[in-house]
Amino acid sequence: MNRTEGEVRLPSVAIGVPTYRRPEVLPRLLRELGEQADDLLGRTGRPAVAGSVRIVLADNDPDRSAETTVAELARSCAEGGPEVRYVSEPVPGIAAVRNRLLEDTADADVLLSIDDDERPRPGWARHLLETWNRTGAAFVAGRVVPEYTGEVDPWLLAGRFFVRRQLPTGTTVPFAAGGNMLLDLAQVRAAGVRYRDDFGLSGGEDTVFTKELHAAGRSIVWCNESEAVDVVPAERQTRRWVLIRALSHGNSTVLSDTVLAPSRRRRAVRAQAAVAGLVRLGGGAGRALGGFAGRAPVHQARGLRTACRGAGMLLGAAGWSYEEYGRDGRLARFRPGA
């Protein structure tokens, strides 16, 4: 049952974590989420802003690699800590696991979500909840900042591959990423929005979800004080990885624009995307070549990033999807609604 603060009913809060084969990072993440829960419940000397809090981890590994770790942590939290639950979602893809979190937290007022390769900074959850209370938004998006492991290639830093946007708190946006967010679950249900399975392997499911939420008349606002740390492992700190990610982002952007367009306009959307992709590919390649000629890492990195994004856009315009979240990563024909 939810507590009240004075005459105000405090909301029930679920904190969701989609995960896939990262059991080694979960103990620290779940402990830190427990600290966030204590803060929301007023156990750290600050006023309570939640009546109840539970943590739900949704495992997308069919081998259930996170189950033992979560069970051990749930036992350690049994006395005085928040409820910790494990759920399995064996259907491959980020959309399936995000939908599983929506289903398993449907009785809560709000769902806060953070990815398993991120860590919450102090006040992460409180800031999201306070922004939601002030604005009544259906979706509150927080900022994500990178934290590198080991020495970083200066070329990657020059390209700003891991730098995310920052906006003043309260700014309304038409779409947002899903790595650091709050969802008002009643508003989501009223809008009839779910994560689309056809974007489960390519990524971009959060972009489509938030664009559909926005189109349904629900507001999406930014909270710059809510900060999650994106822990970038060494295997992602390579030129190959970041350029493939740029291709993937360009690809999923075009696919999302296509499926959200009215059917009569989809051919025009694809044609416009093809032209834009060609411009990016050519312009980016030219900038990169100039950067190599002038030994300027900034132009090398940003030029190649633009060119790869353009290549991904061309693939999307031609109806191809790069399945970044597939078990082996591959190109496949995009089938809307599949």
User: What distance in Å separates the CA atoms of residue 242 and residue 236, rounded to the nearest whole number?
Assistant: 7
The answer to whether position 47 is within a domain reads yes
Q: Are residues 152 and 222 in the same domain?
A: yes
Last residue of a domain, one of 236, 255, 290: 236
User: What distance in Å separates the CA atoms of residue 93 and residue 314, rounded to the nearest whole number?
Assistant: 23
Q: Are residues 16 and 72 in the same domain?
A: yes
Q: Are residues 11 and 116 in the same domain?
A: yes
What is the domain-level CATH number for residue 39? 3.90.550.10
Judged against a pLDDT cut of 50, whether residue 311 lies above it is answered with: yes
Name the residue among 30, 32, 24, 82 with its Cα closest to residue 53.
Answer: 82
User: What distance in Å separates the CA atoms of residue 148 and residue 193, rounded to the nearest whole number?
Assistant: 35
User: What distance in Å separates the CA atoms of residue 338 and residue 335, rounded to the nearest whole number?
Assistant: 5
Q: Are residues 173 and 269 in the same domain?
A: no
Please provide residue 144's backbone torsions phi and psi, each rounded to the nearest 5 degrees: -130, 130
Q: Determine the average pLDDT of the residues in 282-289.
A: 98
Judged against a pLDDT cut of 80, whether residue 181 lies above it is answered with: yes
% of the chain beyond a pLDDT of 90: 86
Q: Are residues 111 and 229 in the same domain?
A: yes
pTM for this predicted structure: 0.92
- Of residues 333 and 234, more confidence is placed in 234
The answer to whether position 94 is within a domain reads yes
Judged against a pLDDT cut of 90, whether residue 2 lies above it is answered with: no
The answer to whether position 338 is within a domain reads no
β pairing state of 331-333 and 320-322:
antiparallel
Q: Are residues 57 and 111 in the same domain?
A: yes
% of the chain beyond a pLDDT of 70: 95
Q: Domain of residue 78: give its range.
A: 4-236
Q: Are residues 251 and 194 in the same domain?
A: no
Q: Are residues 297 and 148 in the same domain?
A: no
CA 248, chain centre distance (Å): 15
Residue 327: burial class (beta carbons within 10 Å; 0-12, 13-18, 19+): exposed
Residue 7: per-residue pLDDT: 58
Q: Are residues 201 and 248 in the same domain?
A: no
Tens digit of each residue's pLDDT (9 = 90 or more) over 223-232: 999 999 999 9
The answer to whether position 126 is within a domain reads yes
Q: Determine the average pLDDT of the residues in 298-323.
A: 97
Q: Are residues 204 and 96 in the same domain?
A: yes
Average pLDDT over the chain reads 93
Q: Are residues 188 and 221 in the same domain?
A: yes
Q: Determine the average pLDDT of the residues in 80-104.
A: 93
Residue 263 tokens, joined: 């059917």
Task: Say how many domains are in the chain.
Answer: 2
Last residue of a domain, one of 184, 209, 236: 236
Q: Are residues 178 and 305 in the same domain?
A: no
In degrees, to the nearest 5, what angle opens at C-alpha 57 toward C-alphas 83 and 234? 130
Q: Highest mean pLDDT range out of 79-88, 186-195, 315-324?
A: 186-195
Tens digit of each residue's pLDDT (9 = 90 or more) over 148-178: 988 999 999 999 999 999 999 999 999 999 9
Residue 1: per-residue pLDDT: 37
